[in-house]
Chain A
Amino acid sequence: MGVHAEGEVQPSRRRLVPLGLRRTVRPIADSRGMTRGLLAAGAAITLFFILLALLAPVVSPYNFDTFEAGGKRFPQLEAPSGDHLMGTTVQSTDVMSRVIWGTRTELKVVLVSLVLSLSIGVPLGLFSGYFGGRLDRVLVLLMDAMLAFPFLLLAIVIAFLLSGSIGKGILTAAVAITVAYIPLYFRVVRNHTISIREEPYVEAARAIGARPFTVIRKYVFFNVIQNVPPLATLNAADAILTLAALGFLGYGIQPTDAAEWGYDIQRAVSDSASGIWWTGLFPGLAIVLLVTGLTLLGEGLNETINPVLRKRPKVKTELTPPGGVAEVESE
Chain B
Amino acid sequence: MTSQGTSLRQYALTRLALVLPMVFILLTLVFVLMRVAPGDPISAALGGHAPPAVIQRIKHQLGYDDPLYTQYANYLSSIVRGDFGESTTDRRPISDIIKVNGAATLELTFFAMLVAITVGVTFGLLAGRFRDSWIDSGSRLFGIIIYATPVFFLGLMAQLFFGVYLGWLPTSDRASPITQATLETHTNIFTIDALIDRNWEAEVDVIKHLILPAVTLGLVTAGVFIRLIRVNVIRTMKDDYIEAARARGVNERAVVYHHAFRNALVPVITIVGLTIALLLGGAVLTETTFNWPGIGHTLVVYLQNRDYTAVQGIVIVFALVVVLASLIIDFVNAYIDPRIRY
Contacts and interface: CB of A to CB of B under 8 A. Distances in A.
B44 A164 contact: yes
Contact of B144 (A249, A292, A321): A292
Contact of A287 (B37, B153, B157, B288): B153
B207 interface: no
B235 interface: yes
Interface stretch (B98-106, B190-198, B276-284): B276-284
B277 A288 contact: no
Contact of B22 (A34, A148, A275, A281): A148
Interface residues of B, number: 52
A281 B156 CA distance: 9
A149 B322 contact: yes
Interface string B129-153: 0001000010000001101111011
A99 B311 CA distance: 32
B315 A148 contact: no
Contacts of A241: 148, 150
A208 B298 CA distance: 61
Nearest to B151: A245
Given A34-B132, A296-B144, A245 B25 contact: no
B33 interface: yes
A156 B25 contact: no
A265 interface: yes
B267 to A, nearest CB: 13
A2 B270 CA distance: 41
Interface stretch (B56-64, B159-167, B177-185): B159-167
A34 B156 contact: no
B300 interface: yes
B150 A145 contact: no
A98 to B, nearest CB: 15
A321 B157 contact: no
Given A34-B137, A141-B25, A265-B152, A295 B147 contact: yes
B288 A288 contact: no
Nearest to B30: A157
Interface string B10-52: 0000000000011001100100011011110000100000000
A288 B284 contact: no
Nearest to A164: B39
Interface of A: 34, 141-142, 144-146, 148-153, 156-158, 160-162, 164-165, 237, 241, 244-245, 248-251, 262, 265-266, 268-269, 272-275, 277, 280-281, 284, 287-289, 291-292, 295-296, 299, 321
Given A150-B318, A164-B39, A289-B148, 7 more contacts: A161-B37, A164-B44, A249-B300, A288-B150, A291-B147, A296-B144, A299-B144
